[in-house]
């Protein structure tokens, strides 16, 4: 693990596990859908491999956790942190800023059904509907999404800026949804929501963002991440316990 990777604050993105609507390709914004058995297993498996003292997602190194208030995201947090929930008490906040895109009139519909509906309403005569550009009737526009995500990004930077060289562990975790986390990723690196950057984010998956050169003004995608060795893990556990006792 490089010195920068070990010290620079990180932002972990975790997408909730599979739901029946997600499995069927239905737009799921404000509707309260629970994880299905596959989704629960996805999150539990990730927790066993990735979460715990000395592991990639170390609860003791988390300063804040921002969670979508939708039931499927809450369930995901509970499963993800189940063996370590006592370590995150007082650190997590449910916020609409990281809730899924509000699909409005398109809630519960598949993409082809949305396009048929829009054509019936006289839209999209010159090109196909694209949520990144056109937003959702009765729901949110890309400008509204940008506003709330930028607000959250500013909050995260305020938390992490004083500790860019590892003076204190201040990792942040977001637990949310596929589309909004892809939007967040674009805004993190300064791209507009409708930028055509292709991003995939599977249910129950984790992604990592950070900063180049330990600089809060250089947010970056961490597309390659060295996992901690056993020696690194033991050292980080010792450092975290020391910080906790200060």
Q: Which DSSP string do the residues of 212-223 spell out, in sequence order?
A: GGG-TT-EEE--
Residue 126 marked ligand-binding: no
Catalytic one of 20, 32, 34, 100: 100
The dihedral built from the CA positions of residue 83, 84, 88 and 92, taken in this order, carries a sign that is negative
Residue 142 marked ligand-binding: no
Residue 21 marked ligand-binding: no
- Is 20 marked active-site? no
Domain 3-245 CATH superfamily:
Phosphoglycerate mutase-like (3.40.50.1240)
- Is 100 marked active-site? yes
* pTM summary value: 0.90
Return the structure tokens found at 16: 């909730």
Q: Give the distance, in angstroms, between the CA of residue 132 and the centroid of all CA atoms in the same chain.
A: 18
Other beta carbons within 10 angstroms of residue 4's beta carbon come to 14
pLDDT in tens, 36-80: 999 999 999 999 999 999 899 999 999 999 999 999 999 999 999
Catalytic one of 16, 18, 140, 177: 16
pLDDT in tens, 10-25: 999 999 999 999 999 9
């Amino acid at each position: 693990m490089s010195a920068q990777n070990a010290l620079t604050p990180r932002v972990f993105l975790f997408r909730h596990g599979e739901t029946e609507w997600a499995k069927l390709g239905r737009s799921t914004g404000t509707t309260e859908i629970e994880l299905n058995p596959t989704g629960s297993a996805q999150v539990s498996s990730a927790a066993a491999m990735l979460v715990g003292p000395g592991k990639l997602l170390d609860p003791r190194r988390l300063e804040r956790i921002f969670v979508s208030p939708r039931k499927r995201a809450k369930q995901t947090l509970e499963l993800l942190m189940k063996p370590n929930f006592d370590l995150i008490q007082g650190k997590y906040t449910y916020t609409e800023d990281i809730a899924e895109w509000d699909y409005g009139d398109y809630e519960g519909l598949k993409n082809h059904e949305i396009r048929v509906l829009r054509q019936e309403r006289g839209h999209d005569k010159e090109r196909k509907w694209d949520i990144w550009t056109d937003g959702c009737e009765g729901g949110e526009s890309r400008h509204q999404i940008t506003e709330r995500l930028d607000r959250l990004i500013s909050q995260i930077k305020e938390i992490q800026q004083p500790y860019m060289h590892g003076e204190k562990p201040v990792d942040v975790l977001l637990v949310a949804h596929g589309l909004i986390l892809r939007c967040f990723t674009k805004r993190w690196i300064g791209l507009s929501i409708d930028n055509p950057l292709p991003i995939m984010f599977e249910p129950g998956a984790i992604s990592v963002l950070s900063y180049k050169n330990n600089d809060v003004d250089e947010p970056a995608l961490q597309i390659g991440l060295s996992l901690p060795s056993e020696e690194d893990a033991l050292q980080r556990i010792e450092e975290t316990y020391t910080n906790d006792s200060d």
